[in-house]
């Protein structure tokens, strides 16, 4: 059911009755590719002549869009793992992308960057505690980089359930983006909607335009000419009755940001021309989500299909039990998830027990650990807030054990990176990377406590099997790069 809400006051003097707005949202993200023991990205031959895909995509997409100033005009999110890599590897590109939000704030009074749930985790498949950590880490990362709080958050694969939305609202997030088929009631995607949550809370949802977002993503002809796009594609997506009545409308095109130059060569230039020439020439004002929300707050409510996502017609099965969204036998996904879940559950029990000896609230400390790990707060400040006696333990071995257990929690979170479940087969690099992050968590627990989580994990991984080359997750684990013998429990005999 869609319910009208009475607007009490004009939210912005800049609103123009009957205006047509175009928002381009780019989800800029790359999964972590580094070896978790060395921090080095292995050479990726498929990225030749570049050393790896992060370098290749930077040259083809991030740098040209940053240098063209495109980030200052679009709505975008910059995934934390990508942001960390760019900051270290290409600081000049990173600074241009971050500065775009500042430029937009100076121009319009609101930012145009959104935060992202930290590890690109499929939040509906996470437990409540992990959802909270993912959201808080994403917001902390954003605040550190941009110097202000995020008001919007991009959810990995736009995967959503009501608990995740409620947690967003509790932490000050006021809007997100979903696919139109995630609505359970009829919608008009040219306007935002309110979703009612617990205890009087609510959050605004923007639904992207499916035909244009799909065309921009997958059809080469759609983005071959920015003027033609503005003249022929955009007007057909407006609601005629609203145009006739002089009502404002927003066309939101949401895609992976990498298509503008990487997935589709030269589409960074398409974006530049569309922003500055094509769209304005055909009476479309380029606008960002938060700016539009400032001018035209949501006036209707919507109910959602939950759990749901933008790239799976079966809720979130693509990242859980598997489904026909990917070719072949996808049952390996359910077995890999069981293995990672069991490992994380064992790790959580140990963390709560042993970190609880030095931390007043281990889970609150985990939520704050990103700031300590990245040097955004001092150890003294961290321990004063989260230590059992408001200071670091007198015994340095206890302090180090706690740090190792917090670091193990950090890598447990990495092991649920969604890319490990997105594609068709277990043998791909993405599941291998999730398994590698899990092994790093096992190593840290072993170093901290001398407790072997490896044996049970290998037993669980043996049930996940590649339909393509008939190897198991346990085989993939054993194929990971060799590390010092003292960093892991002895491997059991096959």
| Residues 121 and 240 occupy one common structural domain | yes
Give the confidence band of 160 by pLDDT, cuts at 50, 70, 90: very high
| Percent of the chain scoring above 70 in pLDDT | 96
First CA to last CA across the chain, in angstroms? 57
Specify whether 351 is located in the same domain as 269. Answer: no
Task: Mark whether 265 and 342 lie in a shared domain.
Answer: no
Say if residue 53 is in the same domain as residue 185. Answer: yes
**How open is the CA angle 486-487-491, to the nearest 5 degrees?**
80
Asked if residue 393 lies in contact with residue 358, where contact means CB atoms within 8 angstroms, the answer is: yes
What is the total residue count of the chain? 494
Judged by phi (left if over 0) then psi (alpha if -120 to 50, else beta), residue 359 lies in beta
Query: Which of 8-17, 181-190, 391-400, 435-444 is predicted with the least confidence, judged by mean pLDDT?
Result: 8-17
Bond preceding residue 31 cis, omega within 30 of 0: no
Domain that holds residue 401: 319-487
In a shared domain, residues 290 and 324: no
Q: Please check whether residues 473 and 404 belong to one and the same domain.
A: yes
Confirm whether 437 is domain-assigned.
yes
Instruction: Give pLDDT, residue 8.
Output: 32
Which of residues 262, 295, 328 is at a domain's end? Answer: 295
Q: Check residue 7 and give its pLDDT.
A: 35
As a whole number, mean pLDDT of residues 161-172 equals: 98
Average pLDDT (155-175) is 98
> What does the pLDDT read at residue 494?
77
pLDDT of residue 81: 96
Task: Over range 420-441, report the average pLDDT.
Answer: 98
Answer yes or no: do 220 and 113 share one domain. Answer: yes
Are both 49 and 182 inside the same structural domain? yes
The number of folded domains in the chain is 2
> Are residues 408 and 278 part of one domain?
no
* Structure confidence at residue 407 (pLDDT): 98
Residue 393, token pair as written in the block: 């333990």
Beta-strand relationship, 202-207 and 175-178 = parallel
Give residue 6's pLDDT band: very low, low, confident or very high (50, 70, 90): very low
349 shares its domain with 259: no
Nearest to 207 by CA among 242, 232, 183, 238: 183
Is 308 inside a domain boundary? no
> Quick check: is 494 in a domain?
no
Domain presence at residue 312: no
Q: Render pLDDT for 115-135 as a digit per residue (tens, 0 to 9).
A: 999 999 999 999 999 999 999
Tokens coding 373: 């790990």
Tell whether 136 and 64 lie within a shared domain. yes
User: Does 148 share its domain with 78?
Assistant: yes
The answer as to whether 305 is a domain residue is: no
pLDDT at 227: 98
Q: Is 93 inside a domain boundary? A: yes
Looking at the predicted structure, is the pLDDT value of residue 4 above 70?
Answer: no
- 335-351 tens-digit pLDDT: 999 999 999 999 999 99
- Give the mean pLDDT of the chain: 95
pLDDT in tens, 176-201: 999 999 999 999 999 999 999 999 99
* 147 domain-assigned: yes
The 10 Å CB-count burial string (b at 16+, else e) for 420-449 is: bbbbbbbbbbbbbbbbbbbbbbbbbbbbbb
Does residue 56 carry a pLDDT above 50?
yes
Beta-strand relationship, 249-256 and 75-78 = unpaired
Res. 14: pLDDT tops 50: no
What is the pLDDT, as a whole number, of residue 493?
A: 85
In a domain, 269, yes or no: yes
Give backbone dihedrals phi and psi of 121, rounded to 5 degrees, phi first. -80, 145
Q: Tell whether the model's pLDDT for residue 10 goes beyond 80.
A: no
pLDDT band for position 57 (50/70/90)? very high
What pLDDT does 18 receive? 62
- CATH (domain of 31): 3.20.110.20
């Amino acid at each position: 059911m869609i319910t009208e809400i009475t607007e009490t006051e004009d939210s912005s003097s800049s609103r123009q009755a009957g205006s047509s707005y175009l928002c381009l949202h780019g989800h800029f993200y790359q999964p972590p590719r580094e070896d978790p023991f060395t921090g080095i990205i292995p050479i990726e031959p498929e990225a030749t002549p570049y050393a790896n895909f992060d370098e290749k995509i930077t040259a083809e997409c991030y740098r040209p869009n940053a240098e063209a100033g495109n980030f200052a005009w679009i709505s975008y999110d910059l995934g934390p793992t990508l942001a960390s890599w760019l900051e270290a590897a290409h600081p000049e590109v990173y600074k241009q992308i971050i500065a775009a939000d500042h430029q937009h704030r100076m121009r319009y009074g609101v930012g145009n960057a959104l935060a992202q749930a930290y590890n690109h985790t499929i939040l509906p498949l996470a437990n409540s505690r992990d959802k909270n950590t993912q959201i808080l880490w994403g917001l902390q990362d954003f605040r550190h980089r941009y110097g202000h709080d995020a008001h919007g958050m991009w959810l990995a694969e736009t995967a959503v359930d009501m608990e995740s939305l409620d947690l967003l609202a509790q932490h000050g997030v006021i809007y997100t983006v979903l696919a139109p088929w995630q609505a359970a009631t009829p919608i008009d995607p040219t306007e935002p909607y309110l979703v009612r949550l617990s205890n009087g809370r609510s959050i605004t949802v923007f639904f992207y335009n499916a035909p244009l977002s799909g065309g921009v993503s997958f059809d080469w002809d759609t983005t071959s000419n920015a003027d033609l796009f503005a003249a022929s594609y955009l007007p057909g997506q407006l609601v005629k009755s609203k145009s006739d009545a002089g009502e404002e409308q927003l066309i939101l095109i949401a895609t992976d940001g990498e298509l503008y130059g990487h997935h589709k060569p030269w589409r960074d230039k398409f974006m530049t021309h569309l922003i500055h020439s094509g769209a304005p020439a055909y009476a479309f004002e380029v606008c960002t989500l938060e700016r539009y929300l400032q001018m035209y707050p949501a006036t209707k409510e919507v109910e959602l299909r939950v759990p749901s996502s933008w790239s799976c017609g079966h809720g979130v099965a693509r990242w859980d039990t598997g489904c026909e969204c990917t070719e072949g036998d996808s049952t390996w996904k359910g077995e890999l998830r069981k293995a990672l879940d069991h490992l994380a559950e064992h790790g959580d029990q140990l963390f709560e027990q042993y970190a609880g000896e030095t931390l007043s609230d281990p889970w609150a400390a985990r939520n704050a650990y990103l700031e300590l790990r990245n040097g955004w707060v001092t150890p003294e400040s961290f321990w004063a807030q989260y230590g059992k006696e408001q200071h670091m333990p007198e015994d340095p071995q206890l302090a180090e054990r706690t740090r190792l257990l917090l670091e193990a929690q950090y890598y447990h979170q990495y092991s649920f990176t969604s890319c490990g479940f997105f594609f068709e087969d277990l043998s791909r690099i993405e599941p291998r990377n999730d398994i590698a992050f899990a092994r790093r968590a096992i190593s840290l627990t072993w170093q901290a406590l001398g407790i072997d989580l490896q044996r049970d994990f290998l037993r669980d991984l043996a049930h996940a099997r590649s339909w393509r080359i008939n190897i198991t997750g346990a085989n993939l684990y054993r194929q990971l790069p060799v590390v010092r013998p003292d960093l892991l429990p002895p491997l059991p005999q096959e």
